[in-house]
Structure 1
């Protein structure tokens, strides 16, 4: 093990411990301020639970990114650090305000687009070097929208104990693996720090037997931003092609995307909270957050990650893998919902969508 990697692992361990301490402190703060998610028709939990614990993991990650500048062999480019930290903290701040008193869709979307713009600006040199100006501008705009979608997607999928935290933790380790294979120490360090922040949060959020704290919008949006930053930075640096990143996020992308389109098609108020994601159906039909978590984890370990590693060094094949896996995920989403709708009738219990 090189000294540089040893230093990164030591920093990651520090981030994990600090995240755990801060999450515990946020739990006490949430109870004191009455920041509790109450059971309700659109929620899966049955007891009042503190929310906003993700703030502790986000703060630990932000400190880790600053300290990473002290490790020359693994430091992120200064432009990334300078632009990503404000974007990360802006996303977290807007989420924290929403957790405390609620925000309209306008301020939230504006902040998410601003975070995406900062990410696009950080990668503009790579875009401008690889593409003609009109195409580079078009790709930068697409990157802004994709980042805002990632922030909101991870907010949508944060509704079952441990699901989002385990997803980000698992994908961060997968990105770390791909960064190591492509000899990208800065991306490897970033991915390990992201995984470490979630490692400090997970013990409080896993369904053992139930979560003791929820991540809240402060965490879900911030980690959605960081996954987008890691994914697109790797593409810009040639560490992995875009298909590899798309394969990794397939489970969440299809569940969130298909559910959103389904609600729009049926004339539902798609911007309102609901319980129509597949993971929510699974948790209700099986009466188990743990089983829903294991199904998504199994998809990642058995399909998404192996195919992403395959696509890493064969971008042309990668697009075919994306098409195939997303089609399979779409079928699984449809059939999974059908099975969940039948399950309540067998048990004499109704779980109608809202």
Structure 2
């Protein structure tokens, strides 16, 4: 397995380097601005390397296990849709509604994967919602150097340890390897960004891993307590994205437009550096993964209470970050959208 993971890492790294050259030739650059957190023009679209690695990983899984052929074909089609619309958006901005429509089709395909993997209707519905949420959250949260790919790497590592079946464990390890291939060009200072092609793909593959883990573990793995465990590693992104979106909606802002109102963006703006924030969010994900590993064999009631307390604590921390760093960054509490 190590050799195959090294191959995926190499594919990701090589394709990311190629994508950087392509972006520079085509002038596909993200320029600094009031709704950006970087200060120099930077190529985008490097996430195509991760996408290509994941296509190879899906093909390898289907080749190794005939029972996974249909599931991987459906998942690869969904990934192609998400990455494809992101690739187009990186070249020519599209409306958010056209992107959401494509994401919905891809999410439906993931729901079919859940059914084919042995899940019930509840898991299929969960798969649809999870894909829609994670695809868009990873896009929202991809705003400073390294944060989205590193967060996906940590979450994938946690899922590899939590997984009860070979398919979900392989996909989690494959995603971790692909992220490792991309990160050298995104840390400590980004020489290329994921772009929409990469950020949406990360969210979709993470949703796939969660669904495979839930379906592959039998009825117990499809319970609300199991879903709670699987939602602990990405809790930093889920809390920041959900509460920031809710706050913008309550303020009557155009919530679908770019902004710099996330807690991580305000924190990075106040510090004048990205890396402390990127690694703080990664540490939060590591802690969430360790919590999931530590409580997974405990009674259901304890798991639900511990998970709820973790998210409540995350919400309180988000409020503190927004209050403290919102003032220090010089950003107003109300964004114009």
TM-score (norm 1): 0.88
TM superposition shift of 1:142: 4.2
Counterparts in 2 of 1:76 and 1:18: CA distance versus 1, 3 Å: farther
Written as runs of structure 1 = structure 2, the 5 A alignment for 1:225-264 is 225-238=204-217, 240=221, 241-264=226-249
| CA deviation string 1:270-295 (max 9, x = no partner) | 00000000110111011110011121
Moved over 4 A (4+): none
2:58·2:171 contact (CA, 8 Å) conserved in 1? yes
Map Cα deviations across residues 221-251 of structure 1 (whole Å, 9 max, x no partner).
0110010111122112227511111111211
Q: Quote the Cα distance in structure 1 between the aligned partners of 2:33 and 2:91.
A: 18
Separation in 1 of the partners of 2:110 and 2:295? 24
Q: Tell me how far 1:192 sits from its aligned partner.
A: 0.8
SS in 2 for 1:123: helix
2-side partners of 1:127 and 1:30: how far apart? 41
1:107 alignment partner in structure 2: 98
* Equivalent position of 1:298 in the other structure: 283
- 2:89 is the alignment partner of 1:98: yes
Per-residue deviation at 1:68?
A: 2.9
Q: CA deviation at 1:127?
A: 3.0
Per-residue CA deviations over 1:67-111 (Å, capped at 9, x if unaligned) read: 233335xx7722221100000111000000111001112221111
Structure 1 spans left out of the alignment, 5+ residues:
1-7, 129-135, 345-349
The CA deviation at 1:168 is 0.4
Determine if the alignment matches structure 1 residue 339 to structure 2 residue 324: yes
- Alpha-carbon distance in structure 1 between the residues aligned to 2:160 and 2:184: 21
CA distance in 2 between counterparts of 1:83 and 1:191 reads 17
Pick aligned residue for 1:122 from 113, 116, 119: 113
Q: What is the 5 A alignment of 1:317-332?
A: 317-332=302-317
Output one character per residue of 1:179-210: Cα deviation in whole Å (capped at 9) or x when no partner.
2xx3x22221111111111010000011x2x2
- Asked if 1:165 corresponds to 2:143, the answer is no
- Partners of 2:61 and 2:215 lie apart in 1 by 20
Secondary structure in structure 2 of the residue aligned to 1:306: helix
- The correspondence for 1:212, drawn from 191, 209, 234, is 191
Contact 2:168 2:209 in 1 (8 A): yes
> For residues 83 and 160 of structure 1, what CA distance do their matches in structure 2 show?
32
Aligned ranges 1:127-146 → 2 under 5 Å: 127-128=119-120, 136=121, 140-146=124-130
| Greater displacement, 58-67 / 234-243 | 234-243
CA contact (8 A) 2:114 2:123 kept: no
Distance 1:330 1:235, change over 3 A: same
Deviation, structure 1 residue 122: 1.2
User: Is residue 243–residue 311 contact of structure 1 (8 Å, CA) maintained in 2?
Assistant: no
Q: Residue 58 of structure 1: CA displacement?
A: 0.7
Give the paired residue count: 326
Structure 1 vs Structure 2 CA RMSD: 1.6
TM-score (norm 2): 0.93
- Partner SS state of residue 164, structure 1: helix
Q: Is 1:14 aligned to residue 2 of structure 2? A: no
User: Aligned partners of 1:193, 1:140: CA distance in 2, in Å?
Assistant: 23
For 2:82 and 2:297, how far apart are their aligned partners in 1?
A: 33
